[in-house]
Amino acid sequence: MKVARINEILFQGLIAIILVLFFSCFGKTPTFLGALREMFLLVSDTLRGQNLQAHYMGVTWLQVWATLRLVIMSVLLSFLLGITLVTLRIVGRKLPFARLFQFISAVLEAIPEPMYVVAMFIWVLFLINHWGITLFPAFLSGQPRFIDTVVPAVTLSLPGGFYLERILYMSVREEIDKPYVRTAVSKGLSHQAVLFKHVLPNGLEVTLRQMPVVSSLIISSALFTEFFMNYQGALYQFTFAVGWNMVTGAFQGSPKPFHLPLYQSGLVFLLGGLLVVLWVFFRILFEWIYTVRYGRAS
């Protein structure tokens, strides 16, 4: 992987961090100069180790790890789900239900991301109430365990998995129509051997190019998933960081316009910065995998 490509991704991440820092401080003091002053105080206090509790109160390293675990599991599951669905679709393309599978796949891809969270939550409740299955808890409390991450991770992976399935299937169809496939079959190789040894690996090139998009989709949906499923990771604290009262369901406001006494600009920046770091990590990771696999930058 070229150093210039890594530097480009890191530069984009740096610009994103600066923007996140500014708008986090803008929420505390909604003027341009006020936001700059708040930025200076936040950076200065952090570098000197002062007022850290006041700036970043509410987040622990265990919660940060819980969010990292959720996002990483979701990205991996979406990749595996996309490959699995394409394999089933290609293998069963001559079966009677193949077109039905194609229709269902297109419908599921069109469902908005938050609805997957709601649907999965209702499905888990159904399993608990009607079948007595409690392996995956629906009402989480306290620090999330590994088993508590399974349902939110599967939920987050579904939109990306169906998106990858559509992209990979179109790529595989293009590969199947290429001359080398007909040549390999005419030389005695079975269709299954050609599919799994040549067509599917070649089709993964497009999938790897799309993985940063899927990663961004998962990262942007993680906050809603943690809040709705009561998964108390780092992003779950965002509601408290902006001054939202979980009891009354309203912002902790005051007669002063645009003033939120409980707003923590440092905590908002920390959570936003965490998402930017995750985005940079996955961009570099899949860029490296693509370079190792295909010998060139994506």
Task: Give yes or no: residues 31 and 123 share one domain.
Answer: no
> Token pair of 292, please?
């190792």
Q: CA dist 183 to 177, 186, 188, 194, 298, Å?
A: 11, 5, 9, 10, 28
Task: Give yes or no: residues 238 and 227 share one domain.
Answer: no
Domain end, chosen from 173, 201, 231, is at 231
The CATH number given to whatever domain includes residue 213 is: 1.10.3720.10
Ranges of residues in the chain with a pLDDT under 50 are: 245-259
Domain end, chosen from 186, 204, 231, is at 231
Q: What is the mean pLDDT of the chain?
A: 78
Report d(CA 32, CA 288) in Å as an integer: 39
Report d(CA 217, CA 31) in Å as an integer: 31
> Which domain does 212 fall in, by range?
71-231
Per-residue confidence (pLDDT) for residue 93, from 0 to 100? 67
Per-residue confidence (pLDDT) for residue 26, from 0 to 100? 80
Residue range 260-282, pLDDT digits in tens:
556 778 888 888 888 999 999 99
Task: Give yes or no: residues 86 and 178 share one domain.
Answer: yes
Per-residue confidence (pLDDT) for residue 281, from 0 to 100? 92
Per-residue confidence (pLDDT) for residue 74, from 0 to 100? 93
Q: Is 49 exposed, middle or buried (0-12, 13-18, 19+ CB in 10 A)?
A: exposed
Task: Give yes or no: residues 226 and 246 share one domain.
Answer: no
In contact, 158 and 73? CB cutoff 8 Å: no
Per-residue confidence (pLDDT) for residue 244, from 0 to 100? 52
Task: Give yes or no: residues 251 and 176 share one domain.
Answer: no
Task: Give yes or no: residues 27 and 104 share one domain.
Answer: no
Q: CA dist 271 to 19, 34, 108, 244, Å?
A: 13, 21, 30, 15
Per-residue confidence (pLDDT) for residue 21, from 0 to 100? 87
Task: Give yes or no: residues 260 and 141 share one domain.
Answer: no
Number of domains in the chain: 2
Per-residue confidence (pLDDT) for residue 241, from 0 to 100? 75
Residue range 90-113, pLDDT digits in tens:
776 666 666 776 677 777 767 777
Per-residue confidence (pLDDT) for residue 280, from 0 to 100? 92
